Structure 1
Amino acid sequence: MTRMRPLRLLVVEGNPKAMRERHAAVSGQTPSAFYSDVLTQLTAAEKLEATIDVCYPADEGANLPDGAGVGSYDGAVITGSGLNLWKAERESLVQVDFARTIYDAGVPFFGSCWGLQVAAAAAGGEVKLNRRGREIGIARSIHLTDAGRDHALHAGRAQVFDAPAIHSDEVAAVPPGATVTAVNDLCAVQAAEIRHGDGVFWGVQFHPEYTFAELGGILTRYTPIMLEEGFFRDSAEAAAYIADLVALDADPARKDVAWRLGVAPSVLDPKIRRTELINWITRQVLPALSARTRA
């Protein structure tokens, strides 16, 4: 029996330096460091060794892997970001170009939120400000499409589910080769598979990787915006909501807090919450690694 070598995964940080430093100041880690820790936990749960590298395409002078370098990885993941693709800033467009490099390398490809948007734009789709408004905290009543019910991305998911989320943009026009697998009332593309060139991308608009503490840190930064947009009446209400999130992270058995926030048991369970990310590892990354190891 051929023993598989350790996984090599690439995490693509979606934020420029200033944004990720602001994030880390509140949450304790950059999005890419947090995502790397989650991937380490998930691969360890599968009894796999993994080496995880991080790259920073939004940074000036970033030393990014070329096609051959990307091709040496067993999977690539793009994190969330505070950028907006419709602004067409350099920090955004360079990530779209890099996503095309990942597609061309044929490496299993995953993204949360911003990652889905970048992958869609790289394949010819369009991202716009969501006219329905911001989705923040817990995305409610996400439901699988007909295509999504039997898709391996969502294996083990209920037909309707909630998930941590924060975004004001959405994929407004899906690219050729895309299959929308989940939607809800606030967002027409909550999950999708995108086939482009030699690559296959699986992605979600929500954040399966998030803990409630991470979500609380992000909402702390977003409190002024949430007050302005009417999500909270005042700072005290915002602080109480965030404190509940942190309390739920520390003790998921707090039925009182879960009830108050309307958090379903499936969202409390990290294995269920991370369904799509786990499925990507087990159903995209591992089969590709196995094939390469045999070769």
Structure 2
Amino acid sequence: MTTILIVESNPAGYPQVASEFVMVLQAIDDTTDIRIVSPYEAPVTRSDLQAVDGAIFTGSAVSWGVDAPEAAPLRAAMEQVFDEGIPAYGSCNGMQLAACLLGGISAPSPNGREDGLAREVQLTEAGRVHPFLKGRQTGFTVPCIHRDEVTRLPKGAVLLAGNAHSPVQAFAYDNGNIRFWGVQYHPEITLAAMADILDEIGGYPQSLRDDLRLAETDAGAARRLGAAPGDLQPDQRVTEIRNWFNSLSA
């Protein structure tokens, strides 16, 4: 049985998003032992990390960046995971956090927000052969919502994918005791949930939100969103999480 620690990256009062990963992990392997910690509520301890096979750092809806004083509890949690040699995965804020701790830079994207979908995500040469992106075809589309991005990769990181909006959409870092794989986008978020998020934020076309809710079963809606129909199927959408999970026992 695989034990996964999910690090909830939102404080109380913000949407709690660890449950999105719980559903994905249970669909991948329903025997998985899943634990959730919330560093903003209580510090992560060594006992929290005992017998953990892998750690997931979620996205976040906070207004501050990963290098801000407010994010210190989250940085401390990831530092402990790295110190213990636990393989880690991060989506969005989770990837930005890793880049920051490993010597890179994360900051607001000069292109503004990328909400709803990341389109035309291109694999690098390294990404075409890396196990993290096995099953992805270059030019894919995936759920995405973010303000910040990785603007400088850490030394030793391997760029795996990017697009016109955000040149760093996925990277891997495998050096010494640290193994981190991360994406800027959100494979864990269903299209319906993304439509609900855009509803709450406001200002997005009704046609976009309607097509997001239809695209899993309607090829026409997927194409109107600029996606190949297969990209948005649930099994394909969670590719990176499944590949990372499978790598823990490889």
TM-score (normalised: structure 2):
0.92
Partner Cα separation in structure 1 for residue 22 and residue 66 of structure 2: 27
Q: Deviations over 1:119-169 (max 9, x none)?
A: 111212111110011111111111111211111111111122111101111
Task: Give the share of equivalent positions with the same residue, in percent.
Answer: 35
Match of 2:13 in 1: 18
Match of 1:97 in 2: 76
Contiguous gaps of at least 5 residues in structure 1: 1-5, 21-29, 233-237, 288-295
Partner Cα separation in structure 1 for residue 72 and residue 181 of structure 2: 20
SS in structure 2 opposite 1:286? coil
Q: For 2:44, give the aligned amino acid.
A: L
Maintained 8 Å contact 1:12/1:76:
yes
Match of 1:268 in 2: 232
Runs of 4+ residues over 6 Å off in structure 1 = none
1:114 positional shift: 0.8
Q: For 1:162, give the aligned amino acid.
A: T
1:253 positional shift: 2.7
Q: 1:64 aligns with which of 38, 44, 69?
A: 44
Match of 1:286 in 2: 249
Q: 1:189 aligns with which of 145, 168, 190?
A: 168
Contiguous gaps of at least 5 residues in structure 2: none
Match of 2:4 in 1: 9
Match of 2:149 in 1: 170
Q: Rg: which structure is higher?
A: 1
Partner Cα separation in structure 2 for residue 139 and residue 205 of structure 1: 9
Q: Note the aligned Cα RMSD (angstroms).
A: 1.8
Partner Cα separation in structure 1 for residue 173 and residue 2 of structure 2: 23
SS in structure 2 opposite 1:148? helix
Match of 1:120 in 2: 99
Aligned pairs, how many?
Answer: 249
TM-score (normalised: structure 1):
0.79
SS in structure 1 opposite 2:196? helix
Match of 2:23 in 1: 37
